[in-house]
C-alpha cells in the first residue's frame, strides 16, 4: 500500500474531515482523496459511503459544497471521496472540459494516449478500496453514490459489484452514455470505435442484462437541469428497470438544477435511503 500524506484535518460535527495524497500505483501519478469519519467512540465500525463527483470536479467539490458531514455524523456513516481522474503534467489531457483530466468517467481506458493512466475503475474498486479497508479499517457495509459523470460511475461500479455494495444512489446521472454526446465523445477516446465494448460501462445496458443480486437504486433528477434532456435522460434506465421489475426509483425534483444546491438539498435523504436498505437486508 502506498504511503499516505495527510494534507488537511478538520473537526466537524463531532467527526473529522481529512484530505490525503498518495502515489497511485494503478494510475501512475499522485492522487488526492477526502475522507470523513464520524465520532470513533460512538461509531466504531461505520458503514462506508462512496461519493463520485462529476465533470471538472475534484474531491473538494462534495466535501465543501454538499454539506453532508452533519447528516453523516448523526447517522454514523463514513464517507470517501476520490478525485475524478489522474492528474499531472505527464498525464494525457485535452483542451475540452469534458475530456481528459477531471473527466475520467470511472472506466479503464484501452486506447492511447489514455490507457497508461486512465484506469479509474481499478483505482476505485481495487487500490483506493484497499486503502479504505486496510489503512482505515473501514470493513463494514458499503454504499455508492455520485453526481452526473459520477452518477454514471456509481451506477456502473455498483451494478458491476452487486455483491459488494448494498445500495446505489445518484444525482442527475448519465445513465446511458453510449447514446448521449458526453458519453460518445469520452468512450470513443478512451475505449475506441468498437461500440460493443462500450456497453460494459453503460448502466442502462448493464441493467438490461443484469442477472445477479438486485440492489436498490435511488436517482434524483431536477426538472430544471439544463443537461436533463440531451445528456442525462433518466427515463431510459427507468424503462429498463420497469421491464425487469428492478428496485430502481427515479424522483423528479421540481425546480432543481444540476448544481450542488440540489445535492445539498437531498443528500441527507440519500444517506438515510442507504441506511434503510441496510436495515432491510439484515
Q: What is the mean pLDDT of each run of 10 residues along the chain (282 residues)?
A: 89 98 98 97 94 98 98 98 97 98 98 98 98 96 98 98 97 98 98 97 97 94 97 97 97 98 98 92 66
Is the Cβ–Cβ distance between 139 and 46 less than 8 Å?
A: no
Residue appearing with cell numbers 429498463: 240
Is 258 a residue of the active site? yes
Name the catalytic one among 22, 258, 270, 274.
Answer: 258
**Domain boundaries, position 24:** 4-281
Is 22 a residue of the active site? no
Q: Look at strands 142-147 and 78-82 and give their pairing.
A: unpaired
Is the Cβ–Cβ distance between 177 and 237 less than 8 Å?
A: no
pLDDT digit string (tens) for 137-188?
999 999 999 999 999 999 999 999 999 999 999 999 999 999 999 999 999 9
Name the catalytic one among 24, 85, 148, 169.
Answer: 148
Instruction: Name the E strands within 83-141.
Output: none
> How many domains does the structure of the chain reveal?
1
Query: 242: burial class by Cβ within 10 Å (0-12, 13-18, 19+)?
Result: exposed
Is 24 a residue of the active site? no
Half-sphere exposure of 19 (CA within 13 A, CB side): 13
What span, in angstroms and rounded, lies between the C-alpha atoms of 276 and 282? 10
Whole-structure pTM value? 0.97
Name the catalytic one among 225, 256, 270, 274.
Answer: 225
Q: What is the CATH number of the domain that holds 10?
A: 3.40.50.1820
Helix (H) or strand (E) holding 6: strand 4-12
Amino acid at each position: 500500500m502506498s504511503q499516505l500524506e495527510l494534507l488537511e484535518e478538520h473537526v466537524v460535527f463531532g467527526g473529522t474531515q481529512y484530505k490525503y495524497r498518495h502515489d497511485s500505483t494503478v494510475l501512475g501519478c499522485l492522487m488526492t482523496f477526502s475522507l470523513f469519519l464520524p465520532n470513533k467512540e460512538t461509531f466504531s465500525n461505520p458503514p462506508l459511503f462512496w461519493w463520485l463527483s462529476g465533470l471538472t470536479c475534484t474531491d473538494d467539490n462534495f466535501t465543501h459544497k454538499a454539506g453532508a458531514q452533519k447528516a453523516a455524523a448523526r447517522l454514523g456513516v463514513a464517507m470517501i471521496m476520490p478525485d475524478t481522474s489522474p492528474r499531472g503534467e505527464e498525464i494525457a489531457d485535452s483542451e475540452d472540459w469534458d475530456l481528459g483530466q477531471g473527466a475520467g468517467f470511472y472506466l479503464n481506458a484501452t486506447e492511447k494516449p489514455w490507457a497508461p493512466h486512465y484506469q479509474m475503475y481499478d483505482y476505485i474498486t481495487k487500490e483506493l478500496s484497499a486503502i479504505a479497508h486496510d489503512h482505515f479499517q473501514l470493513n463494514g457495509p458499503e454504499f455508492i453514490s455520485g453526481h452526473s459523470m459520477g452518477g454514471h460511475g456509481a451506477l456502473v461500479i455498483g451494478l458491476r459489484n452487486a455483491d459488494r455494495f448494498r445500495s446505489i444512489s445518484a444525482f442527475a446521472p448519465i445513465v446511458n452514455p453510449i447514446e448521449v454526446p458526453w458519453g460518445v465523445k469520452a468512450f470513443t477516446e478512451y475505449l475506441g470505435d468498437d461500440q460493443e465494448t462500450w456497453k460494459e460501462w453503460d448502466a442502462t445496458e448493464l441493467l438490461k442484462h443484469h442477472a445477479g443480486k438486485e440492489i436498490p437504486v435511488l436517482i434524483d433528477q431536477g426538472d430544471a437541469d439544463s443537461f436533463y434532456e440531451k445528456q442525462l435522460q433518466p427515463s431510459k434506465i427507468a424503462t429498463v428497470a420497469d421491464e425487469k421489475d428492478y428496485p430502481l426509483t427515479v424522483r423528479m425534483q421540481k425546480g432543481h438544477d444540476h448544481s450542488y444546491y440540489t445535492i445539498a438539498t437531498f443528500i441527507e435523504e440519500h444517506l438515510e435511503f442507504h441506511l434503510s436498505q441496510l436495515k432491510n437486508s439484515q
